[in-house]
A and B are shown apart, each in its own frame.
Chain A
Amino acid sequence: MKKIQIFGLVIVAVAIGIIVSTAGDASTYVDFSKAQEMASNGDDESIHVVGKLKKNAAGQILEMDYQPQVDPNYFSFTLIDNNNVAQKVVYKSTKPQDFDKSEQVVVIGKMQNGTFAAEKILMKCPSKYENGKLETTEATASKS
C-alpha cells in the first residue's frame, strides 16, 4: 500500500471521528416534560428548551425574582414551553440585560431537583423598527 493511501485512510478516519463526536456533543431542542423525563432517567446532558415568559393580562412578567442587593448571582423566573408547561428556571448569574423585553427565551441547561438550572440564556427581542423581525442576544453563566 502506498504511503498516500495510508495517509488518506487516516484522514478519513479522523474526519469520521470528528463527525461522530460532533453528533455526540450536539445538544437538542426539547420541552420541559422531556427534560424532566431525561433527568429522572439519570441523563444529565444539557438541553435547549424554547419558551415564553409567564405574563399577566397587562403584559407584566410574573414570578420573576432578581434581588442584586441580596444576591447578585441568583435570578429565577418561570418559563412556559411550547406545550404550555410552566417551569421555574434558576440562572445562577446576573439577570441578562434586555431580559424584560424578550419575546422568546431559550434556556440551556438541565432539570435539577424540580427546577431547571440554566447555564445559558438566549433571548429574542422584538426589534422596534422592523416588524416581525427578531434580534437575538445571549447571556452565559460563565465558568472561568
Chain B
Amino acid sequence: MIHTTIGSAGHLLVIIAFVSALVATFAYFKAGMANTPIDDLSAWKRFARASYVVHTAAVLGVVFSLYWIIGNHYFEYHYAWKNSSLSLPTGYTISSFWQDQEGSFLLWIFWNVVLGSVLIFTNRSWEAPVMTIFALVQAFLTSMILGVVIPGLDLKIGSTPFLLLKEVMPDIPVFKMDPNFIAKDGNGLNPLLQNYWMVIHPPTLFLGFASTLIPFSFAIAGLWTRKIQEWIRPALPWALFSALILGVGVLMGAYWAYETLNFGSYWNWDPVENSSFVPWLVLVAAIHTMIIARKNATALKTSFILTITTFILVLYSTFMTRSGVLGNASVHSFTDLGLSGQLLIYLLTFVIVAIGLLIYRWKSLPSDDEEVSTYSQEFWIFIGATLLCLSAFQIIATTSIPVYNKIAESFGTVLNMALPADQVAHYNKFQLWFFSLIIVLTGIGQYFWWKKTGKGKLQTLYNPLLIALLISAAVITYQGVKDIQYIVLLTTSIFAVVANGNILLNIIRGNYNLSGGAVTHIGVALMLIGVLFSSAYTKVVSINNSGLMISRSEEFTNNDNKENKENITLWLNKPEKMGDYGLTWRDVRIEPRHIPGYIPKSWVDIIENDYHAVALRDIVVNDKKYNSKGDTIEIFPENFYYEIEYREPSGRVFNLFPRVQINPKMGGIVSSPDINRKLDKDLYTYVSMVTNPTAEPVWSQTENFTVSMSDTFFVNDYVAVLDNVVRTDSVEGVSLGAGDAAVKAIIRVLDNEHEFVITPSFVIRDRMVARKPEVNNDLGLRIQFQEINPQTGQFSFAVNTTQRDFIVMKATEKPLINILWLGTFVLVIGFVLATIRRFKDFIKMRDKENAALNKGKIKQSPQTV
C-alpha cells in the first residue's frame, strides 16, 4: 500500500510554513515600524507572534513527516528510497534525513525556528525588528523545499522531499507494469556517511550557519530602529555562540575527513570546506570589533560591515555548494536541483537590503573625533581583525574561481580559469604568513587589553618574547625544523602561548569568567603548532624500499619519483618490510552488529543483498561465546576490515584494521583509514585497492599432475612435494559410515619463506568416489585428489590456480597531531567561557533596563490616574 497521507500532509505543512513565515514577516515589520500607531503596535505584535507559532508548528510537522517516512522505510517515497535502506541502523537513519539537499535545508529551517523561539522569549524589546529578518529568512528557506509548480508559467519553486518514487521517475519500466510498485529496499546511505561524526557534524554546522543570522538580524535591527550602539550588547553573546558552534562544526568535519576519508588529511582546501571556514574567520573578526565598538566609532562601523558580511558569506557559501556552480571543482557539493535562480534571488535580496540600509544610515553613524593611538588596545585589535579579513579574502578569492567562469559565461565570454593545480601550496603560501601575524597579535593585543603594556612600558613584552624565543630554539633544534616559514610560524605560535598564558595566570586569580579571550588564543596557537608538525612533517612510512617490485628501471632511478612509490602491495600472509615496521596482511574481517570487534570473514557465510550471515562455526570473541554454528547473525554487510599486522623493531606487535566499504548499489569501493594513536604521533594506514572479498575466485583451467610418492612438481611457479598419502577417519563436510574409506594426500608447497601443507582428500563412500579439494588462499591454489593407481603406485591431482589476494596500502606518520586536537579543546573551552560571560552581561543589562522600565511605569501610573 502506498502511504500517500503522510507525504501530502508534509507537503501541505511546507506550504503552511512558507505562508505563515511571509505573514509573520509582514506583521513583525508593521510592529517594528515607528510610524505604526501605538494602539496597533501590540495587536500587530500579537498577530506576528501567532503567525510565528503557526510557522514553528508547521516546521516541526514537516520534520516529523519526513522522519516518519524515512524511519518507517516507506520506499514508495523517493527521498527514503534514495537515502536509506532496511539494513541501516537507527542512528544512521537520522543522517539519511539530511543526506540530500531538501533535508539539509529542512535542518537549517529547524534550527532557525528553535533560535527564533529562544529570541522571542529572552529578548522582548528587540522582538519586532529582529524577528522580521528571521521570518523573512525562513520564508526564503521554506521556499527552497516548497516544490510548487506555478501553472502556465512553467516555473518551479523549490524542490520537495515528499515526492513519490513514481513521480520522480515515471519512465522506469516497472511502473508501466505495476503503477503501485513499491521498492523492497532503498539504496542505502553513502557508506562514507555511516559514521557517528556524520550524525552530529551536519546538525552542528547548520546550527552554526543558522546562528550567524542572529548577529546579522541585530545589526539590521539596530540600523533600522536607529539603536546604533545598543544592538551590540545582545548580539555579542550570540556572535560568540555562533563562532563556537560553527567552529566546532568545521572542526568536526575536519576530524571526520581525517578519520574516514582517505585524503590522508584533516584539511584539503576543498571549496566546500573553505566556504564554511571563511564566514567563521570574518565572524571572529566581527567579534573583536564588537568588543571595542562602544569605545571606538570606527570599530562600530566595522562591526556593522563585518556582521553583515558574515551572514552574506554564509548565503554565498550556500549558493556555491548548492547551485552546481562548483561543478567538478569540489568533491562534496550537492548536485544542482534547479534552485540556482532561487538561491541567487535569496542572496541578492539580503545583499541589497543590508548594504542599502547601511549606506542609507551611514551618515548618522558616529565618527571618532581624534585619531586612535598606536599604544591603545583598539589599534591592535583592529589590526588583528583586519588580518583575519584579509586571510578570509584570500581564501574566498581563489575559491570563487568557478564563479568567475560562470559570470564571464553569462556575459558571453569564455574564461577557462581553473583552480590552482596545487591548491594546498597556493593557500599555504598566504595563510601561513597571515596566521603568523595574527597569532603574534593575539599576544600583543591581550597585553594592551589588560593594560600590561602601553606607551612607555613596552619592556613588559620583553619577558614573554625572551621565553618564547628560548622555547622555540629548543623545539626547533630538537624537532629539526629547517624551513624559515615553519620556524616563523612555530616561534610566533609559541610566543602567543607564552604571552596569553601569562595574561591567563594573572586574570584567573581575579575572575576566571574573564579568561575566555586568553584561553581561546592559546587554543588557536596550539592548533597552529599541531597543524605545522602534522602537515609539514608528515612522513610516508610505506615507501617501497624493497626494490623488488619496481620493474620500471628509469623511474626507479629517478629520484624525483620518491613520492610515487608511496603505496605498497601486500599479499595475504606474506610479510613485507616497510620503514621500521614488518608488515603482514593477515585476514579480511567483517563487523557483526551485536558482538564487539571484528570477526574473520571465513567464520560466516554472508547472505547476499541482506544484512545477515550464517555462522560457519561457533563465534567466540574474547573467550565469550556469542553464537553457535548455524546461527544467523546480523552484520554490517558493506564493511570489510583488513587485518594488518605491524611488527615494530622492538618486537611489539599491533594490528590495524583499515576499512573498505563495498556497496554494489552505490557502486565501487570506499576505503577509510585506521589509525594507531600514540602520544607523539599517529600512524595512519589505509587500503587503496583490494581484490573484491565478495567475488567468487576465477579459477584457471585444470592442470593434471600424476606423481609418485616424494615426487616434486611445479604448481603455479611453486615447488610442491607429495610427502605422503595417509588414511583418515574424518573429512570435513562428509560423514563416513562403516565400510567407507578415506585417504588424504599431504602435499608440501614451498614459497620463498614459507611452507604450506595442502591436504586434499579422496573418499570412497557407498561405493562412490568423492573428491574433496582444498583451497589455499595464500597461494591462490586449489588441489583436488583425482585418482589412485594401485598398479603404478602413482597419484593424480587436478590443480587450478587463481589470482592471489592482495591489497595496496599506504601508511603515513603524523607527528604531534595530538597538539592540534588539544588546541581544539582549549579553543572550545575559551569560546564557552567568553560566551557565558557576554550572556551574563547581556542579562544583567536587560534586567536593569526592565527594572527601570517597570519603575517608570509605576511612577507614571499615579500621574495618569
The answer, yes or no, to whether B348 is at the interface (CB within 8 Å) is no
Q: Quick check: A71 and B263 within 8 Å, CB to CB? A: no
Of all chain A residues, the one with the shortest Cβ separation from B417 is: A26
The answer, yes or no, to whether A142 is at the interface (CB within 8 Å) is yes
Shortest Cβ distance from residue B312 to the other chain A in the assembled complex, whole angstroms: 18
Q: Quick check: B335 and A130 within 8 Å, CB to CB? A: yes
**Given that A28-B417, A138-B331 are contacting pairs, would A144 and B812 also be in contact in the complex, using a CB cutoff of 8 Å?**
yes
Could you tell me which residues of chain B, from 543 to 568, have a CB within 8 Å of some CB in chain A?
Answer: 544, 549-552, 555, 561, 563-568
Contact with B along A97-135 (1 / 0, CB 8 A): 110010000101100000000011010110111100111
Rounded to whole angstroms, the CA-CA distance of A18 and B398 in the bound complex is: 9
Of the residues B298, B328, B540, B689, contact of A4 by C-beta under 8 Å: B298
Of all chain A residues, the one with the shortest Cβ separation from B669 is: A97
Rounded to whole angstroms, the CA-CA distance of A108 and B393 in the bound complex is: 26
**Given that A18-B430, A92-B564, A136-B327 are contacting pairs, would A27 and B418 also be in contact in the complex, using a CB cutoff of 8 Å?**
yes
**Given that A28-B416, A101-B668 are contacting pairs, would A73 and B567 also be in contact in the complex, using a CB cutoff of 8 Å?**
yes
Rounded to whole angstroms, the CA-CA distance of A69 and B806 in the bound complex is: 8
Rounded to whole angstroms, the CA-CA distance of A46 and B420 in the bound complex is: 8
Of the residues A21, A22, A30, A124, contact of B328 by C-beta under 8 Å: A124
Q: Quick check: A73 and B564 within 8 Å, CB to CB? A: yes
Rounded to whole angstroms, the CA-CA distance of A57 and B298 in the bound complex is: 69
Shortest Cβ distance from residue B370 to the other chain A in the assembled complex, whole angstroms: 10
The answer, yes or no, to whether B87 is at the interface (CB within 8 Å) is no
Rounded to whole angstroms, the CA-CA distance of A21 and B330 in the bound complex is: 22
Of the residues B327, B374, B549, B665, contact of A71 by C-beta under 8 Å: B549
Q: Quick check: B393 and A73 within 8 Å, CB to CB? A: no
Q: Quick check: B569 and A68 within 8 Å, CB to CB? A: yes
Of the residues B82, B331, B565, B812, contact of A137 by C-beta under 8 Å: B331
Rounded to whole angstroms, the CA-CA distance of A24 and B683 in the bound complex is: 37
Shortest Cβ distance from residue B584 to the other chain A in the assembled complex, whole angstroms: 17
Shortest Cβ distance from residue A39 to the other chain B in the assembled complex, whole angstroms: 14
Residues of A within 8 A of B834 (CB): none
Of all chain B residues, the one with the shortest Cβ separation from A105 is: B328
Of all chain A residues, the one with the shortest Cβ separation from B171 is: A131
- Majority-rule SS of B interface residues: mixed
Residues of B within 8 A of A128 (CB): 665, 667
Shortest Cβ distance from residue B367 to the other chain A in the assembled complex, whole angstroms: 11
Q: Quick check: A119 and B421 within 8 Å, CB to CB? A: yes
Rounded to whole angstroms, the CA-CA distance of A140 and B420 in the bound complex is: 13
Contact with A along B310-354 (1 / 0, CB 8 A): 000000000000000001111101011000000000000000000
Residues of B within 8 A of A11 (CB): 386, 390
Residues of B within 8 A of A141 (CB): 563-564
Residues of A within 8 A of B393 (CB): 15, 18
Q: Quick check: B540 and A47 within 8 Å, CB to CB? A: no
Q: Quick check: B569 and A69 within 8 Å, CB to CB? A: yes
Rounded to whole angstroms, the CA-CA distance of A140 and B425 in the bound complex is: 14
Could you tell me which residues of chain A, from 54 to 103, have a CB within 8 Å of some CB in chain B?
Answer: 68-74, 92-95, 97-98, 101
Residues of B within 8 A of A69 (CB): 569, 806
The answer, yes or no, to whether B698 is at the interface (CB within 8 Å) is no
**Given that A27-B418, A143-B563 are contacting pairs, would A2 and B331 also be in contact in the complex, using a CB cutoff of 8 Å?**
no
Shortest Cβ distance from residue B166 to the other chain A in the assembled complex, whole angstroms: 14
Of all chain A residues, the one with the shortest Cβ separation from B665 is: A128
Q: Quick check: A93 and B564 within 8 Å, CB to CB? A: yes
Q: Quick check: B328 and A129 within 8 Å, CB to CB? A: no
Rounded to whole angstroms, the CA-CA distance of A109 and B544 in the bound complex is: 24
Rounded to whole angstroms, the CA-CA distance of A127 and B168 in the bound complex is: 15
**Interface residue range, chain B:** 35 or more
The answer, yes or no, to whether B419 is at the interface (CB within 8 Å) is yes
Contact with A along B174-201 (1 / 0, CB 8 A): 0000000000000100000000000000
Rounded to whole angstroms, the CA-CA distance of A127 and B329 in the bound complex is: 17
Of the residues A18, A22, A73, contact of B544 by C-beta under 8 Å: A73
Shortest Cβ distance from residue B321 to the other chain A in the assembled complex, whole angstroms: 12
Q: Quick check: B390 and A140 within 8 Å, CB to CB? A: no
Q: Quick check: B563 and A101 within 8 Å, CB to CB? A: no
Q: Quick check: B371 and A3 within 8 Å, CB to CB? A: yes
Rounded to whole angstroms, the CA-CA distance of A120 and B269 in the bound complex is: 14
Of the residues A15, A92, A125, A135, contact of B561 by C-beta under 8 Å: A92
The answer, yes or no, to whether B508 is at the interface (CB within 8 Å) is no
Rounded to whole angstroms, the CA-CA distance of A109 and B422 in the bound complex is: 10
Contact with A along B561-579 (1 / 0, CB 8 A): 1011111110000000000
Contact with A along B381-409 (1 / 0, CB 8 A): 00000100010011001100100000000
Of the residues A28, A71, A119, contact of B418 by C-beta under 8 Å: A28
Could you tell me which residues of chain B, from 398 to 444, have a CB within 8 Å of some CB in chain A?
Answer: 398, 401, 416-422, 426, 429-430
Q: Quick check: B808 and A27 within 8 Å, CB to CB? A: no
Shortest Cβ distance from residue B15 to the other chain A in the assembled complex, whole angstroms: 25
Shortest Cβ distance from residue A31 to the other chain B in the assembled complex, whole angstroms: 11
Shortest Cβ distance from residue B841 to the other chain A in the assembled complex, whole angstroms: 29
Rounded to whole angstroms, the CA-CA distance of A142 and B328 in the bound complex is: 19
Of all chain B residues, the one with the shortest Cβ separation from A137 is: B331
Of all chain B residues, the one with the shortest Cβ separation from A74 is: B552
Rounded to whole angstroms, the CA-CA distance of A69 and B657 in the bound complex is: 21
Q: Quick check: B371 and A2 within 8 Å, CB to CB? A: yes
Q: Quick check: A15 and B328 within 8 Å, CB to CB? A: no
Shortest Cβ distance from residue B184 to the other chain A in the assembled complex, whole angstroms: 16
Could you tell me which residues of chain B, from 657 to 692, have a CB within 8 Å of some CB in chain A?
Answer: 665, 667-671, 688-689
Residues of A within 8 A of B398 (CB): 22, 25-26
Rounded to whole angstroms, the CA-CA distance of A21 and B688 in the bound complex is: 35
Q: Quick check: B397 and A22 within 8 Å, CB to CB? A: yes
Q: Quick check: B563 and A18 within 8 Å, CB to CB? A: no
**Given that A135-B335, A136-B331 are contacting pairs, would A73 and B565 also be in contact in the complex, using a CB cutoff of 8 Å?**
yes
Residues of B within 8 A of A14 (CB): 390
Residues of A within 8 A of B607 (CB): none
Of the residues A19, A22, A47, A135, contact of B421 by C-beta under 8 Å: A47
Contact with B along A7-48 (1 / 0, CB 8 A): 100010011001101100111111000000000000001111
Rounded to whole angstroms, the CA-CA distance of A95 and B688 in the bound complex is: 8
Of the residues A48, A74, A94, A136, contact of B689 by C-beta under 8 Å: A94
Q: Quick check: A98 and B421 within 8 Å, CB to CB? A: no
Shortest Cβ distance from residue A93 to the other chain B in the assembled complex, whole angstroms: 7
Shortest Cβ distance from residue A73 to the other chain B in the assembled complex, whole angstroms: 5
Residues of B within 8 A of A4 (CB): 298, 371-372
Of all chain B residues, the one with the shortest Cβ separation from A67 is: B551
The answer, yes or no, to whether B264 is at the interface (CB within 8 Å) is yes
Contact with A along B675-713 (1 / 0, CB 8 A): 000000000000011000000000000000000000000
Rounded to whole angstroms, the CA-CA distance of A138 and B268 in the bound complex is: 12
Of the residues B420, B566, B688, contact of A27 by C-beta under 8 Å: B420
Residues of A within 8 A of B394 (CB): 18, 22
Q: Quick check: B390 and A18 within 8 Å, CB to CB? A: yes
Of all chain A residues, the one with the shortest Cβ separation from B330 is: A136
Contact with A along B127-162 (1 / 0, CB 8 A): 000000000000000000000000000000000000
Can you spell out 22 A-B residue pairs with CB atoms less than 8 angstroms apart? Answer: A19-B397, A27-B417, A27-B418, A27-B419, A27-B421, A28-B417, A71-B549, A74-B555, A74-B564, A92-B555, A94-B567, A94-B689, A95-B689, A97-B671, A120-B421, A125-B667, A135-B335, A141-B564, A143-B563, A144-B538, A144-B563, A144-B812
Q: Given contacts A101-B667, A120-B421, list 6 more A-B pairs with CB under 8 A.
A: A22-B394, A29-B416, A109-B421, A128-B665, A129-B82, A136-B327
Complex A-B, nearest 5 residue pairs according to Cβ-Cβ distance, in ascending order: A46-B421, A92-B564, A27-B418, A72-B808, A144-B538
